[in-house]
Chain A
């Protein structure tokens, strides 16, 4: 059975959530939806830190490596002197590597977000579940209906 508590007020919602957790309800049995991000919920429900940082780091590192590897590699592939600059003109390649760091970092973070949050949530899209402007706590009491 799912017991639902709806609140208009953030403070009341947080109080109830704390009470539920303190009264012994396991955080796994609680589903919380809010109209905006509420930091305190993560503390109360003891949510594990997000793994998104890892995706960002990997993306940025990949971008930086790809940026330098590609620019230096293609310059050495056909060493054409332009404008009197050295073949491996690092000051200029820094710029390309910097942009690719940001590009890969941003895009891979976004893909990581989609992966971690299981988006697109096809069942939710198909069933048309809505989320309202209220703060909602759904408790799965585990009892039969």
Chain B
């Protein structure tokens, strides 16, 4: 199985390279948006497995192997970032670099971190399969690198588009969103498995949907904390960023959609007990969360940098095929 996934990942990288070369810089941040989304799902799922392991959570066990097994795809992301790095002209600081926002350091540190995340996941998976004691250590290393990688995705890839604007919660916000997306993906996988083996997977599905519900609230709290602080202080150098994305159309409408898709609707759909196990509500909630994530990244990025819609659609599908293929086509793991 791992070989097939690795091949798909390599194919995705090559295809993305082809798309980027075809558009020759006109794609803007399209690859970044696609990578942000799929990296959030893949890294988020592995992080979920890691967190469940370290906290001794048992509800997760039937899906554990499946979620950990996605790690080979993580190796695609540093390669994809390298593909993107040919096109750093979207960043305003390129012309006047500082010690931190300097192109070579920028690329090296992000590629290194993405690679570290993938390597840590690989080491963890290997140690876990062997039953080695070092598994817990690699698991912790993965979580550390996941947090730092997602934080830098926030600070470097997205926040620096509006340099020197800062938002200290942005990094933590991105990795909370990655976990959120990981849970949404887990719920979808659990739903699919529960149709074939309800006794084993229904409890997992119930817990995953409860977590979606909880994370919807957590997400809302985080976005509110950012919005409230910036809105209340009303400092010119800070508030312009929010103003451009909330009061200017079409970004304002997109922002409203994000709020509905990532909080209001999943919360409302999943509040009843019955909804937590029926397919339609779960698919709707998980799907909305994922759609909301993509639109949100567009709201962050579009006012500051272009995103070519065709390039985005192509790269989204290119990266999505291996991920979805792995998640939904993998045969059942034997009961662990």
Min CB–CB distance B135 → chain A (angstroms): 35
Could you list 10 examples of A-B contacts with CB < 8 Å? A84-B234, A85-B232, A91-B224, A91-B227, A91-B228, A91-B231, A91-B232, A92-B228, A92-B232, A94-B224
The residue in chain B whose Cβ has the minimal distance to the Cβ of A91 is B228
The residue in chain B whose Cβ has the minimal distance to the Cβ of A95 is B228
Min CB–CB distance A83 → chain B (angstroms): 8
For B234, what are the chain A residues with a Cβ–Cβ distance below 8 Å? 84
Q: Which 4 A-B pairs have the closest CB atoms?
A: A91-B228, A91-B231, A84-B234, A91-B227
Q: Which residues of B line the A interface, CB within 8 A?
A: 224, 227-228, 231-232, 234
The residue in chain A whose Cβ has the minimal distance to the Cβ of B227 is A91
Give chain A interface residues in 57-107, CB to chain B under 8 Å. Answer: 84-85, 91-92, 94
Known: A84-B234, A91-B224, A92-B232. 7 other contacts (CB 8 A): A85-B232, A91-B227, A91-B228, A91-B231, A91-B232, A92-B228, A94-B224
For A84, what are the chain B residues with a Cβ–Cβ distance below 8 Å? 234
CA distance A108 to B44 in the complex (A): 38
The residue in chain A whose Cβ has the minimal distance to the Cβ of B273 is A53
| Secondary structure type dominating chain A contacts | helix
Q: Which residues of A line the B interface, CB within 8 A?
A: 84-85, 91-92, 94
For A94, what are the chain B residues with a Cβ–Cβ distance below 8 Å? 224
For A92, what are the chain B residues with a Cβ–Cβ distance below 8 Å? 228, 232
For A91, what are the chain B residues with a Cβ–Cβ distance below 8 Å? 224, 227-228, 231-232
For B227, what are the chain A residues with a Cβ–Cβ distance below 8 Å? 91
Min CB–CB distance A64 → chain B (angstroms): 13
CA distance A94 to B224 in the complex (A): 10
CA distance A74 to B239 in the complex (A): 28
Min CB–CB distance B206 → chain A (angstroms): 15
CA distance A85 to B232 in the complex (A): 8
For B228, what are the chain A residues with a Cβ–Cβ distance below 8 Å? 91-92
For B224, what are the chain A residues with a Cβ–Cβ distance below 8 Å? 91, 94
CA distance A85 to B231 in the complex (A): 9
The residue in chain B whose Cβ has the minimal distance to the Cβ of A85 is B232
CA distance A85 to B234 in the complex (A): 9
CA distance A94 to B227 in the complex (A): 12
CA distance A94 to B234 in the complex (A): 18
Min CB–CB distance B239 → chain A (angstroms): 12
For A85, what are the chain B residues with a Cβ–Cβ distance below 8 Å? 232
CA distance A84 to B236 in the complex (A): 14
For B232, what are the chain A residues with a Cβ–Cβ distance below 8 Å? 85, 91-92
CA distance A91 to B222 in the complex (A): 14
The residue in chain B whose Cβ has the minimal distance to the Cβ of A84 is B234
CA distance A91 to B228 in the complex (A): 7
CA distance A91 to B234 in the complex (A): 13
CA distance A23 to B228 in the complex (A): 63
For B231, what are the chain A residues with a Cβ–Cβ distance below 8 Å? 91
CA distance A84 to B227 in the complex (A): 17
CA distance A91 to B220 in the complex (A): 13
CA distance A91 to B224 in the complex (A): 8
Min CB–CB distance B169 → chain A (angstroms): 16
The residue in chain B whose Cβ has the minimal distance to the Cβ of A94 is B224
The residue in chain A whose Cβ has the minimal distance to the Cβ of B228 is A91
CA distance A92 to B234 in the complex (A): 14
